Structure 1
Amino acid sequence: MAIPGNFLSAVTESVDPNTSGWTPLLNCTLSKGTGGRNGDGVLAVKSVASGEMRARTVSSYPVTPGTVYRVFADASGATVPERIGIRWLTAANVEVSVTWSLTTAAASASWHRIGVAGPAPVGAVRAQVVVSSSPVAGAVISYFENVYLGLPIRSTGNLLPFGTESFEIDTSGWMVETNCALTRTAPAVAWAVDNYLAGGAVLAVTASANGNMAARTVDRPVVTPGVEYVAYCYLSPPTSGSSAWIELRFYDAANTQIAAKRSPLAAPGTGYYRQRASAFAPAGAVTCGVAVGVDTATAAQVLRVETVVVGVAARTLAGSVIPFADASFEADVAGWTRPSGVAVLTRSTPWGAYATNGSYALTVTSATATASTIQSAKFALPAGVDGTSFRLQYSEQVTAGSWTVSRGVRWYDAANTDLGITGSSAAAAPTPGWWNLSRDHAVPAGATQAAVELTLTAGAVNSVIRLDAVALWQALPLTTVVAQEESASVTLTLRELPVDQLIRVYRVTPDGTRTLVRGPAGVYDGTGTIASDLLVVEDYEAPLTVPVYYVVETTDPVTLSRTIRSSDTVTIPHDDVNEVWLKDPGNPQRNTKAVVQSGGAPNWSRPIEQGVHRVAGRRNAVVLSGVRGGLEGDLKIWTRSDEERAALHWLLDSGNTLLWQAVPGMGVSDLYVTVGAITEGRIGGPATEVWRDWTLPLTEADMPVTTGVNGSAGRTWQDILSEFDTWQEVLETYATWEDLFLDRRIGG
């Protein structure tokens, strides 16, 4: 799958099916190797003699001076370490400079990431990717694949700027707090081929002397009191026994730290482990920051850090009232207690041994074969949920002995009065492996708070059960559809989807025709994965006044088992038969209505390429025909105001394939078209007349299946604040507000 936002072609990125995107630059020959992960092909760069060898992309790509660009690749070489660079060029293809990555710390035959980022220098208008290594002999081979050149790829929702999240530029986003020095290093880390957030460089926090060491972010993003935030990063501890940690901190208006939540890493080794810390911003909090460190470090020990993120915490399931800390147990057991019994509650250990959400689970151990009751903290319910149903769900795994479990929810009013428990009878906890258990509970009158309460009875001495991914949410329909008349669209809401499975979404019309529905990455055709259990699909291509319903298929990528659900039927109303919709499938914010002139519907032609050969002595010619083309004709419409005229220009400016929709019965079906040279004329009358007469030459086109629906995709004003220091920088980077919204940069 192509790397999102890559300037490079798919052939250059994956070196499949050939090496045509690459050429030697210095002391090397190129060939296609095998064994890649982004397709089988790899770029094999062989040295001609000892000394540095370099290969570069054949093409160069437009860049804007001052804008930060990033390159990365996966490399492999048992003999010599590698590096990667951005080669900046003038308009005459003269090299301005090269921004080089760090050289990998040691040679490695395993696939590992190399990468660097930096601003385009003054005078640079184009850029190339350069890969390099320095063997001490001829005929030494370094391998490269999965190559990227483009704007920095960010963690969605990260409040920290790219230079603080990643260490591909420098360490300026970080500062020493206690007993350490900060540098960058480039270990040979085997990141997943599609982990585009990880780079080649990591932050190295080195202890200056024996004792505690710590470093923290320079940036302090703005937070909102009462909102839950989560900070996370990859930590590589000096030893498996090191007391490494990440800490989320909150500061007031005077930059005084007023709260912090530390999450210690229970490392099983010295690899890279994602560690999370979460907390609610307290009253008075204005900003936040992230710190990392090691307690009781030994002098010269190194903590390595990669991909640092802080943002609003996501719940285990959309709409769950249980905070991240109490649902995932990433730092500790949070607000869970044992009101009765002998069971002991702890966070699982080590990292990654027991978890379905994050890296840890709640561990319940009973030294005796007796019953214990465990309870979460109390959590506020949304207003107006009396009499509704809430669904309790969690994952469990029995790892020693046996258990019977009674699941329930205890309800409280605003005065913390206990309103009783709704629950189930005791049942044996299923084994082996992880199981997802759920049950619906009716909310009693007056309830404003809820706590999860489980009665766990051990069937043997020293029984152990793990719990994770706890969620409690209002049980709404799994699938809902709503027609949006003002935008001529349908909103399809899908709940409780299986995360990481593949998804396919069809629109079904009364004649049984199934059409794939469009999403951010193109149509939902079963190749994209589900990122969240809640998915809202806005279908702007549903027909007008025609009842439709939706079929959703999810597929487990491992077992290939399928689940199918269907929606209710929905119809988009459209009252004026003289009005038509002109829509840009990839940019629905541009969609507009127009009035068809009387007699303004196209008179269609269907051209065909033909060769006519007249043979001497024969009456009839020999005609060789191609395939007859699609419909072509002129659509005549009016716009009735300056606003409609501007909207139509905005729609037509891109030259994209459009969807023309009219109500059924008007003699034309919904049609994808390209629009040729347009004519905009006045209709007479005074100069102030705002009506315009338009002629749009239409040519039928195929439905664009790879075009995604453009939108913010999680982009917020915080992203702008994190990246730009002044509004002047924003003005110099984006030509329009739409470009700012979609992060389309001048020259990018």
Structure 2
Amino acid sequence: MAIPGNLLSATTSEVDPNTSGWTSKLNCTISKGTGGRVGDGCLIVKSVAAGEVQARTVSSYPVTAGTVYQCFADAAGTVPERIGIRWLSATGSEISVTWSLVTTAAYSGWHRVGVAGMAPAGATQAQLLLSSTPGAGLINHFWENLYLGLPIRTTGNLFGFGTESSEIDASGWTAEVNASVSRQVPIALWAVDNYLGGAHTIAVTATGAGNASAVSVDRPSVTPGTDYLAYAYLNPPTLAADCWLELRFYDSNGNQISASRGTLVSPPPGSGWYRQRASGIAPVNAATCSVAAGVNGASAGQVLRLESVVVMVAPSAQAGTVLPYADTAFEQGVAGWTRPSGVAVIARSTPWGQASYDGSYSMSVTSATATASVVRSARFATPGGVGTSYRAQILASLGAGSWTVNLKVRWYDASNLDLGTTGGTSYSFPGAGWYAMTTDASVPATATQGAIELTLTAGATNSAMYVDWVALWQTLPLTAVAAVDETASITLTLRELPVGQSISVYRVGVDGVRTLVRGPSGLLDKEPITSDLMIVEDYEAPLGAALYYRIELWPDGATTPSTRTSDTVTITAGDPNWAWLKDPGAPQRNRRFLISRPPEWQRPIEQSVYRVKGRRNAVVLSGVRGGLEGDLALWTQTDEERAGLHWLLDSGNVLLWQAAPGMGVADMYVTVAQATEARVGGTAMEPWRAWTLPLTETDMPVTTGLGGSAGRTWQDVLAEFDTWAGLLTTYASWEGVLLDRRLG
């Protein structure tokens, strides 16, 4: 599996099918081994004699001075190891090496090593170095899954790479109470495709007995009223250690105004790494945030380690849900949930990871008697009012015994007066696993708030069940379409999609012909569903023609899909003297132009003519007649239009030409050969230009994806770049910023 952004070739990274990407640098020989993680191959670096051995990449890779680069690999051996980036000048001379710390111990299984650093002044290329120091000759060390490239960070993280990871240094953290902060490289066993898992960790060491903690130096901006989630991997010093992670908010003067703490359940399942979460809504006067971590009642010298620290806008169990993350996922407790009646006991599940649909915990419900109990969430604002409807959903799993679950919504007015319940759907557990349980509830008059209410009836003594990933949202049409005439496109909104299934989306014309619609990775043909909400922007829909969309939802392994269809929609064709030229993969470049003269079409064909002696007619061997070819003449009327057409043509991509219905030409995918831009007379300041575009008809591109930011926001840009100067030296244009297409 290729690592995204890797400068190393697949052969060099995966050591398959050979070791041609590697060579000895010091005291070693190299060969290809078996038992790798990505494929079967791995790199064996064998010592010639006692002492340090080094291997390096054969190739040198282009780098930009002042830019941070990261490297990592999975290693295994009988001695500790380190990895480094060797910075070279334009002449190939070594400038310096950025080395990782040496791992704290040897480990014969696969484990992660890595480091990151800034390319020094004068560096134009770099090599990857692998190092270990055996005590004798003929000692093997194994390497696999190697990476060199720009830092890999969590999209949406408010923190920059230097705080999320400690691969550069520990400057993103500072001791707070009874602690020192340093970096260590313990043995870390990350999944082969967990490229966010690093080697260096933040080590918070208690300087004396008592509570010990550290806090991030970085304080990114937050938006008041927004729900945020912080998480990190914690490596506790002992199984009995009381470890925690805290999300803190500060006002514009730097004063802490609130904090939400998530405590790692003690004891954890073992001595490994455990992701702990904490979430909270930024108060009305919040300006920034930070993350802190610590150990309560630590002994002197105990070490809490942190890795992969993230703060981001909290995810939702369902688009539009009114429940915050704390009441949805139970990662730091049961939040606002209560048990108004009955004997059931509610609590956060334990131990870590035992029972959860999302995250590491859920809400456990236990009943000592075979009786009914009511469990209810806190109240949340429910906009819309009378005449609207809300849908409540829980994910539930059977722990022990048996249960009947009745799910409804209890309503309240603005003064918190109880207005009773609506909805009410009963469920039982058909077996093990997690089951979605939903109910629809109409909003009564004067209601402004709602709470999810569960009547849980235990069928046996000592029954237990778990609840997770709870949501309450206003029910809206599952499928909605709207024409956007300004961009000659259609926006298709799909709600409540089944995450984990696959989706196909077709555009269907009045003639019944189906055409797959384009998505981020190409045509939407059985693409995995990763969110319950999908918004599809169709820039290739025909002008002035009625159409609708057919959506096919494919469960894993199914041979027949479930389907949805949209309403009929039409894009206004507009002035027939104008036509659209569109880039299917880059709709931001699409433009509408005034047509001067349509093409006079030709259809070329390859033929061989043989004149046989004694025959009147020749023998002609023909190929298949080609598609349409001709010159399209159009005008640009302003400098802005002219620049826009240049931008559209720059990529050389296949374009879509769309004219209004009735103009004698169907929508057509074309390539444009040498374009001619001519003045139309008048003064030098005349902005009009006459263009001639030689068109050749082509097939619709099927693998071209619709370009987009892939989840990146301005916060990611702010987290990665301290100044505008850094942005200007990294991207050639604003389009490059949008698509994260960097120079070099």
Distance 1:137 1:426, change over 3 A: same
Helix, strand or coil for the counterpart of 1:728?
helix
Distance 2:560 2:22 in 1: 41
TM-fit CA distance, 1:38:
3.3
**Do the aligned residues in 1 keep the contact of 2:605 with 2:624 (CA within 8 Å)?**
no
Q: Deviations over 1:102-125 (max 9, x none)?
A: 333333343332222221111112
Distance 1:380 1:295 in 2: 37
Question: Which residue in 2 is equivalent to 1:6?
Answer: 6
Question: Which residue in 2 is equivalent to 1:652?
Answer: 649
Distance 1:138 1:467, change over 3 A: same
Distance 1:673 1:149, change over 3 A: farther
**Do the aligned residues in 2 keep the contact of 1:395 with 1:435 (CA within 8 Å)?**
yes
Distance 1:196 1:705, change over 3 A: farther
Return 36-45 or 107-116, whichever deviates more. 36-45
Q: Is 1:391 aligned with 2:396?
A: no
Superposed, which structure 2 residues align to 1:445-524 within 5 Å?
445-509=445-509, 514-524=514-524
**Do the aligned residues in 2 keep the contact of 1:410 with 1:418 (CA within 8 Å)?**
yes
Q: Deviations over 1:207-231 (max 9, x none)?
A: 2222211011001111222221111
Distance 2:551 2:58 in 1: 43
Helix, strand or coil for the counterpart of 1:483?
strand
Helix, strand or coil for the counterpart of 1:5?
coil
Question: Which residue in 1 is equivalent to 2:565?
Answer: 567
Distance 1:33 1:629 in 2: 52
Q: Deviations over 1:196-247 (max 9, x none)?
A: 2212222122222222110110011112222211111111111222111100
Distance 2:619 2:188 in 1: 67
Distance 1:463 1:619 in 2: 97
Distance 1:83 1:255 in 2: 39
Question: Which residue in 2 is equivalent to 1:283?
Answer: 284
Distance 1:194 1:364 in 2: 35
Distance 1:725 1:222 in 2: 13
1:682 to 679, 682, 693: 679
Helix, strand or coil for the counterpart of 1:424?
strand
Q: Deviations over 1:607-637 (max 9, x none)?
A: 75x9999999999999999987765543322
Question: Which residue in 2 is equivalent to 1:641?
Answer: 638
Superposed, which structure 2 residues align to 1:540-579 within 5 Å?
540-555=539-554, 563-568=561-566, 569-579=568-578
Helix, strand or coil for the counterpart of 2:186?
coil
**Do the aligned residues in 1 keep the contact of 2:75 with 2:112 (CA within 8 Å)?**
no
Question: Which residue in 2 is equivalent to 1:208?
Answer: 207
**Do the aligned residues in 1 keep the contact of 2:427 with 2:437 (CA within 8 Å)?**
no
Question: Which residue in 2 is equivalent to 1:745?
Answer: 742
Question: Which residue in 1 is equivalent to 2:322?
Answer: 321
Return 111-120 or 699-708, whichever deviates more. 699-708
**Do the aligned residues in 1 keep the contact of 2:71 with 2:128 (CA within 8 Å)?**
yes
TM-fit CA distance, 1:368:
2.1
Distance 1:355 1:90, change over 3 A: same
Provide the alpha-carbon RMSD of the alignment: 3.1
Question: Which residue in 2 is equivalent to 1:198?
Answer: 197
Question: Which residue in 1 is equivalent to 2:444?
Answer: 444
Letter of the structure 2 residue corresponding to residue 410 of structure 1: R
Return 162-171 or 486-495, whichever deviates more. 486-495
Helix, strand or coil for the counterpart of 1:163?
helix
TM-fit CA distance, 1:329:
0.5
TM-fit CA distance, 1:555:
4.7
Q: Is 1:380 aligned with 2:378?
A: no
TM-fit CA distance, 1:485:
1.8
**Do the aligned residues in 1 keep the contact of 2:405 with 2:426 (CA within 8 Å)?**
yes
**Do the aligned residues in 2 keep the contact of 1:638 with 1:693 (CA within 8 Å)?**
yes
**Do the aligned residues in 2 keep the contact of 1:607 with 1:630 (CA within 8 Å)?**
no
TM-fit CA distance, 1:507:
3.6
Question: Which residue in 2 is equivalent to 1:718?
Answer: 715
Distance 1:381 1:218, change over 3 A: same
Return 362-371 or 666-675, whichever deviates more. 666-675
**Do the aligned residues in 2 keep the contact of 1:406 with 1:423 (CA within 8 Å)?**
no
TM-fit CA distance, 1:363:
1.1
Distance 1:164 1:481, change over 3 A: same
Helix, strand or coil for the counterpart of 1:244?
strand
Question: Which residue in 1 is equivalent to 2:93?
Answer: 94
Distance 1:740 1:623, change over 3 A: same
TM-score (norm 1): 0.91
**Do the aligned residues in 2 keep the contact of 1:64 with 1:746 (CA within 8 Å)?**
no
Distance 1:107 1:231, change over 3 A: same
Helix, strand or coil for the counterpart of 2:647?
helix
Helix, strand or coil for the counterpart of 1:687?
coil
Distance 1:587 1:439, change over 3 A: same
* 5+ residue gaps, structure 1: none
Return 303-312 or 50-59, whichever deviates more. 50-59
TM-fit CA distance, 1:66:
0.9
Distance 1:78 1:143, change over 3 A: closer
Return 168-177 or 542-551, whichever deviates more. 542-551
Superposed, which structure 2 residues align to 1:253-402 within 5 Å?
253-266=252-265, 267-382=268-383, 384-402=384-402
Distance 1:113 1:633, change over 3 A: farther
TM-score (norm 2): 0.92
Question: Which residue in 2 is equivalent to 1:107?
Answer: 106
**Do the aligned residues in 2 keep the contact of 1:321 with 1:473 (CA within 8 Å)?**
yes
Helix, strand or coil for the counterpart of 1:733?
coil
**Do the aligned residues in 2 keep the contact of 1:403 with 1:458 (CA within 8 Å)?**
yes
Letter of the structure 1 residue corresponding to residue 646 of structure 2: H
TM-fit CA distance, 1:482:
2.2
Helix, strand or coil for the counterpart of 1:296?
strand
Return 276-285 or 560-569, whichever deviates more. 560-569
**Do the aligned residues in 2 keep the contact of 1:483 with 1:572 (CA within 8 Å)?**
yes
Return 99-108 or 263-272, whichever deviates more. 99-108
Q: Deviations over 1:254-305 (max 9, x none)?
A: 2121211111011222211111101111232221110011111122222121
Distance 1:665 1:293, change over 3 A: same
Distance 2:668 2:28 in 1: 53
Question: Which residue in 2 is equivalent to 1:244?
Answer: 243
Distance 2:461 2:256 in 1: 46
TM-fit CA distance, 1:392:
0.8
Letter of the structure 2 residue corresponding to residue 583 of structure 1: K
Helix, strand or coil for the counterpart of 2:109?
strand
Distance 2:175 2:295 in 1: 13
Distance 2:466 2:158 in 1: 33
TM-fit CA distance, 1:362:
0.8
TM-fit CA distance, 1:657:
3.2
Distance 1:563 1:246 in 2: 44
Letter of the structure 1 residue corresponding to residue 496 of structure 2: E
Superposed, which structure 2 residues align to 1:61-140 within 5 Å?
61-73=61-73, 75-140=74-139
Distance 1:251 1:54 in 2: 48
* 5+ residue gaps, structure 2: none
Distance 1:670 1:281 in 2: 50
Return 665-674 or 219-228, whichever deviates more. 665-674
1:601 to 596, 599, 613: 599
Distance 2:205 2:612 in 1: 88
Distance 2:62 2:620 in 1: 47
Helix, strand or coil for the counterpart of 2:120?
coil
**Do the aligned residues in 2 keep the contact of 1:480 with 1:567 (CA within 8 Å)?**
no
TM-fit CA distance, 1:341:
1.6
Distance 2:513 2:19 in 1: 42
Return 36-45 or 371-380, whichever deviates more. 36-45
TM-fit CA distance, 1:704:
4.2
Distance 1:49 1:512 in 2: 74
Distance 1:428 1:736, change over 3 A: closer
Helix, strand or coil for the counterpart of 1:597?
strand
Q: Deviations over 1:493-535 (max 9, x none)?
A: 2222233444444444555655443333444344x54332212
Distance 1:502 1:15 in 2: 33
Question: Which residue in 2 is equivalent to 1:727?
Answer: 724
Distance 2:236 2:696 in 1: 62
**Do the aligned residues in 1 keep the contact of 2:425 with 2:438 (CA within 8 Å)?**
no
Distance 1:657 1:713 in 2: 22
Return 437-446 or 477-486, whichever deviates more. 477-486
Letter of the structure 1 residue corresponding to residue 564 of structure 2: S
Distance 1:308 1:611, change over 3 A: farther
Distance 2:149 2:600 in 1: 43
Return 458-467 or 705-714, whichever deviates more. 705-714
Letter of the structure 1 residue corresponding to residue 114 of structure 2: G
